[in-house]
Amino acid sequence: MNIDKKHWNTIVIGGGQAGLSAGYYLKKSNNDFLILDGSARIGDSWRERWDSLKLFTPTPFNALPGWPYPGEDSLMQKDQMADYLEQYAKKFSLPVRSGIRVTRLTKSFRGFFIESSRGSFTCDRVIVATGTHQVPHIPEFSSQLDPEIVQLHSSDYRNPGTLPPGDVLVVGSATSGIEIALEVSQSRRTMIAGKPSFIIPAAFFRFGLRFYWWLINNLLTIKTPVGRKAMPNVIKGGAVIPQIVKKLENARVTRIPRVVGVRNYRPVLEDGRIVPVSTIIWCTGFRPDFSWIHINNITSETGWPVTNRGISSVVEGMYFVGIPFQFGLTSGLVGGVGRDAAYIVKHILKNSGVREIE
């Protein structure tokens, strides 16, 4: 295959777990496609996260389509996941071009026109698989804090040794915030602000991990009342397993109300208290950024694309994989993105006259 040509039937933008899953199904159908990834190396989005990060889902449920992770059943470290993604692309000979950052996507007379850091491309169809970790979100009032307070987003945190002496405030109680607070609390006084948006019911774990995975994969979806009820909170702050909340309760971490603003150059809580700290770690998630897509009305007021299970409701031939709760809670997890990718590629094949995937 000539991966240097400029026009393709399908181009996938993003070479993380979502883009690679789409590539797997496109490859099975013998589709003419290319994957563009902005990172220098497949898996870099995982390698660049904090040093001790482990996936909170058990290893058997962290596999991409067609290839279970060839390792132990213990929780995977972030570098293991990064290497797995790199090996996955090699195993299935997926046509990935790394180090190509897409800067502009427009509709063209031939389909779509893509501008990038290494030239332009055209395609009949495009799958946007840039993931959920796009632009770090930090509240605007953070600029009013004392400049002596060290502030960093969770995406910039590496380990406690990189932090200055003094008390630490972790803002945000999703999985990342709790994990970071637990680690930092081993060496200094640590507070965590806020409450988890959605805690997976403990009853889901009653009959073992496989039943738990079946429940979150099949019950918490847009097709069920309980799934639709959970969806806004999952999109807002992610899902937290009860086991990690229990760890937080038993740790030397002080839980405090939500941070709502600044007073006297210090963070102020919703109960009016002022919190003096040396460091603030903003575990406040990420916001979507599709400003590089120059197509009108492609996103809603939430900033996420307007789709039906990832099929654009605005432009024919445009698809998305890896958006929060695309079909269910597991859409945002490594082991769940394959289902969404399969659905998207099946739709592409059905509407292009190519045989369907098996």
d(CA 303, CA 177): 23
Q: Is 36 left (phi over 0), alpha (psi -120 to 50) or beta?
A: beta
The string of pLDDT tens digits covering residues 325-344 is: 999 999 999 999 999 999 99
Encode pLDDT of 84-103 as tens digits.
Answer: 999 999 999 999 999 999 99
3-class secondary-structure state, position 145: coil
Q: Which residue stretches of 32-170 are H helix?
A: 44-47, 78-91
DSSP letter, residue 67 = B
How much is the pLDDT for 58? 83
Whether 237 has a pLDDT exceeding 90, the answer reads: no
The confidence score (pLDDT) of residue 134 equals 86
Residue 351: per-residue pLDDT = 83
Give the bridge partners for 312, in sequence order: 307
pLDDT of residue 252: 93
Percent of the chain beyond pLDDT 90?
86
**Mean of the pLDDT values across residues 140-145?**
97
CB 280 within 8 A of CB 139: no
Asked if residue 305 lies in contact with residue 298, where contact means CB atoms within 8 angstroms, the answer is yes
Answer yes or no: is pLDDT of 56 > 90. Answer: no
- The whole-number pLDDT of residue 1 equals 58
What are the tens digits of pLDDT across the range 180-206? 999 999 999 999 999 999 999 999 998
Query: Is the Cβ–Cβ distance between 341 and 357 less than 8 Å?
Result: no
For the chain, list the domains and their CATH numbers: 7-134+288-350 (3.50.50.60), 139-197+238-282 (3.50.50.60)
What pLDDT was estimated at residue 60? Answer: 86
| Average of per-residue pLDDT across 47-67 | 92
> What is the mean pLDDT of the segment spanning 337-352?
94
How far apart, in whole angstroms, are the C-alpha atoms of residue 317 and residue 108? 12
Q: What is the mean pLDDT of the chain?
A: 93
Question: Are β-strands 168-171 and 150-153 bridged in parallel, bridged antiparallel, or unpaired?
Answer: unpaired
Instruction: Please give the structure tokens belonging to residue 218.
Output: 């099949």
Asked which of 98-112, 247-261, 341-355 is least confident by mean pLDDT, the reply is 341-355
